[in-house]
A and B are shown apart, each in its own frame.
Chain A
Amino acid sequence: MTEPVRVCLPRDAGLLRTLAAGTHVLLSGAVYTARDATHARLAAELERTGELPFGLAGAVLFYAGPTPPAAGRPVGSVGPTTARRMDTWTPAFLDAGIVATIGKGARSERVREACVRNRAVYLAAVGGAAALLATHVTSVEPVAWGELGTEALVRMDVRDFPVWVAIDAEGHDLYAEARAEWQAAGE
């Protein structure tokens, strides 16, 4: 088994852009949860002021809406939601300084191009492994829009959170490449 690469945010944010698609990463540090409704609000702020609010430039967005605290942990379960639904907004957010996004599933060509343009990456976590992933969350701190419930913008500190580089800064797309590799192998 290939050893995973440990990445500590924000110190190693620059390291992310050197990792090839397919690299297994254990992520530590702060990520910010944001999904559909949050994206619409962030986009409105970006449109209005020309920059992302709450100092999000340089940050990592995690497409997720957690369940309430449980089992003595700050969130009961939290895993990635489908990244494709954020594709409309992602290029502008990467242009505005987001260094990485975490989600599940394949993304649009426009997102892949925006990753290359900004030397940003898309990281894939395992959908449906939310109880396990929650054990890697050490603390949460509400940032904004609590009225959105599970869709609120929340800072989440994680330790050794397992992901794979799904789109790297050179534009290699793991979803397309791994599938082609295993499709060929199956024929």
Chain B
Amino acid sequence: MPTAADIAGAVRSAIAEAACTLRGDVREAVAAAAETEPSERGREVLAQLLDNARVARQDRVPLCQDTGTVWVWVELGEDAWPGHGLQPAIDAAVAAAYRDNSLRMSVARDALGDRSNTGDNTPAFVDITARPGTGATVHVMLKGGGSDNASALAMLDPAAGEAGVRAFVLETVSARATGACPPIVVGVGIGGTFDSVAKLAKKALLRPLGSPAPSPAASALEAHLLADINALGIGPAGLGGATTALAAHVMSAPCHIATLPVAVNLGCSAMRSVTIEVP
């Protein structure tokens, strides 16, 4: 049965891993794009990103100077209830990991008013849900400001349908992607409620690139979105080309009969996340 300390330990090791080591599936996708990208400038950008991953791993330095805010999603099994003290334990793990790995402190004390730096990259942004089985699944994502700033949410009318969803995703990527460090991973949440649709979009970024979509409908929409996005011409680093996105991932959920919530959370080319099973 996992304790708060076990979960915090997983967070601490996940941060070190995510900050300095490019996810294997993302590296493979960037390498594949470098083979097919028709723009010379685009290929040079992709070559820099592959070099960057090599330097970061060899020298244990961060892939990106924006080592992000820490999002921790803990899925607790039926036997696991770590009780009070989970948030402080996770915050202590974040502070230790950021100090020990020489990562950048990027958290402002309050969005309104006192925007001074908290100095230890806390608090972590923590979500806790229940799942069947035993143990806990701990997902850790380091989210940069640039790609989060380029994200958006809309409450569409159901009449807008899938066409409306496609238009909103394309509009968001078209307007903001150059600041999100393309080639991006596009997380799309559809359904749920105003607050939960953003979480769906974020969770979609955790799925390994190249793995199957959650449903045939999601799979078809993902293919349409990826084709639409890569026809925009934005390209690697936004400097022109055919590789604007490495993938589009869709997650859908039930919703009110009157709503069609849609959220787009962009993941940058470093797409830093690690998932750890805690027995």
Contacts and interface: CB of A to CB of B under 8 A. Distances in A.
A binds B: yes
Interface of A: 1-2, 22, 24, 37, 64-71, 73, 75-79, 81-84, 104-106, 124, 126-135, 148-151, 162, 164, 166, 174-175, 177-187
Interface stretch (B61-69, B89-97, B211-219): B61-69
13 contacts: A66-B104, A77-B56, A104-B181, A106-B179, A124-B237, A127-B181, A130-B62, A131-B64, A149-B117, A166-B239, A179-B235, A181-B240, A182-B240
Interface string B235-279: 111111110000000000000000000000000111000000000
Contacts of A22: 41
A78 B63 CA distance: 9
B169 interface: no
Contact of A79 (B41, B65, B239): B65
B200 interface: no
B102 A69 contact: yes
Given A66-B65, A164-B239, 4 more contacts: A70-B61, A126-B49, A127-B146, A178-B235
Nearest to A127: B181
B234 A76 contact: no
B41 A164 contact: yes
A94 B239 CA distance: 23
A178 B115 CA distance: 37
Interface stretch (B72-80, B186-194, B225-233): B225-233
A174 B149 CA distance: 22
B16 interface: no
A127 B147 CA distance: 11
Contact of A127 (B40, B149, B230, B268): B268
Interface string B96-130: 00000011111000000001010100000000000
Contacts of B40: 1-2
Interface residues of B, number: 52
Interface in B41-68: 41, 44-45, 48-49, 51-53, 55-56, 59-67
Listed residue (A83, A149, A184) with the most chain B CB atoms within 10 angstroms of its CB? A149
A50 to B, nearest CB: 27
A124 B38 CA distance: 20
B119 A76 contact: no
B62 A174 contact: no
B39 interface: yes
Contact of B44 (A1, A37, A181, A186): A1
A77 B41 contact: no
Given A65-B66, A70-B61, A82 B269 contact: no
Contacts of B241: 178, 182
Interface in B151-194: 178-179, 181
B209 to A, nearest CB: 16
A105 B52 contact: no
A179 B238 CA distance: 8
Contact of B65 (A130, A175, A182, A185): A130
Given A105-B178, A129-B52, A131-B59, A124 B102 contact: no
B179 A104 contact: yes
A24 B59 contact: no
Contact of B235 (A64, A162, A182): A182
Nearest to A130: B65
Interface string B13-42: 000000000000000000000000011110
Contact of A82 (B179, B230, B236): B179
A129 B181 CA distance: 10
A170 B29 CA distance: 37
Contact of A104 (B59, B67, B231, B238): B238
Shortest Cβ-Cβ A-B pairs, 10 listed: A178-B240, A183-B233, A182-B233, A105-B179, A127-B181, A71-B59, A131-B56, A82-B179, A132-B52, A105-B178
Given A71-B60, A77-B64, A179-B234, A128 B104 contact: no
